[in-house]
Amino acid sequence: MSRYSRITGTGSFLPPKRVTNAELATQLAANGIETSDEWIVERTGIRARHFAEPDVGSSELGVHAARRALEAAGRQPSDIDLIIVATSTPDMVFPSTATILQNKLGIAGCPAFDVQAVCSGFVYALTVADAMIRTGTASRALVIGSEVFSRILDWTDRTTCVLFGDGAGAVVLEASDTPGLLASDLHADGKHVEILCVPGGVSGGKVHGNPLLRMDGQAVFKLAVGVLDQAARAVLKKAERTEADIDWLIPHQANIRIMQGTARKLKLPADKLVVTVDQHGNTSAASIPLALDVAVRSGKVRQGDTVMLEGVGGGFTWGAVLLDF
């Protein structure tokens, strides 16, 4: 009998502090940086985002999302035998955020590790968990995307600091006799490292290089729409499905223009595109599971629906997953 994996529960968590564009513009103006709600909305579609408090890390956001996913799946932490956390903003250099989160859940023994593929991280992590379940290495996995991108933003660069927010999303992925995750397609191309990166590091107890996010927005935009379309079509081909089979497209929530461009290439109507970027901003690896949970809890995504997840991020990394929910 074939062994597959299916999502049985979703969860998400946003830090309580919500900052609108107008509020952010006021804060930036105090530092001599000019922007406005109109400027941000026109270019990105973002209207608000959430920021974590200084003492709250990715593991804390992630554990809240994980508990909600477990509740939705009808599972206890002790039922989990694999934890994968997708994050670019870990609590520490090491150990992994996954092990810290594991301890906060009150469990021990199962493998727990981080995946770092920036905004594509959740798609990467989900693909790894699916492979481990299919081979029998695991049976019930927690796959989490959690970020505190507010910690790595340059608040003097209005082209980037208005884009990002903090948050976490999670799914419980379980072994199944019927297909859930139908196909995945992952890629990376390191020659594009410089268009989106944090070009700094820690050595000898000191920061070397620039520890804040840098992005060439135009270059990212041009690359993103093309590679997302390629990954989406590759996944459909692997799954022997067509664009018409997609009930919901849940892309990485980076920029409404990129998201709409991807939907148009797949000939999908606007009402099949799940959009949360307006309220969350870009939460990197957390954005896809956050949007999925919002869509599930609002009644949009239902059992039996076919869902396309896709992400693109620094590295340059990109990928897509097609699943039956």
Domains of the chain: 4-176 (3.40.47.10), 181-324 (3.40.47.10)
Q: Are 310 and 252 in contact (CB under 8 A)?
A: yes
Residue among 324, 321, 325 at smallest CA distance from 145: 321
Which amino acid, one-letter code, is at 131? A
Q: What pLDDT was estimated at residue 197?
A: 97
Other residues' Cβ atoms within 10 Å of the Cβ of residue 191: 7
What does the chain come to in residues?
325
Cα 98 to Cα 242: distance, rounded to the nearest angstrom: 36
Q: How many helices (H) and strands (E) does the chain have?
A: 10, 15
Catalytic residues: 119, 252, 282
Kindly state the tokens that stand for 9. Answer: 């529960």
- The whole-model pTM stands at 0.97
Q: What pLDDT was estimated at residue 1?
A: 75
Q: What pLDDT was estimated at residue 174?
A: 98
Q: What pLDDT was estimated at residue 213?
A: 98
Question: Residue 222 class from Cβ within 10 Å (0-12 exposed, 13-18 middle, 19+ buried)?
Answer: exposed
Cα 48 to Cα 170: distance, rounded to the nearest angstrom: 21
pLDDT along the chain (325 residues), means of 10: 95 98 95 93 97 98 98 98 98 98 98 98 98 98 98 95 98 98 98 96 94 96 93 98 98 96 95 98 98 98 97 97 98
Q: Are 44 and 280 in contact (CB under 8 A)?
A: no
Kindly state the tokens that stand for 139. Answer: 């049976």
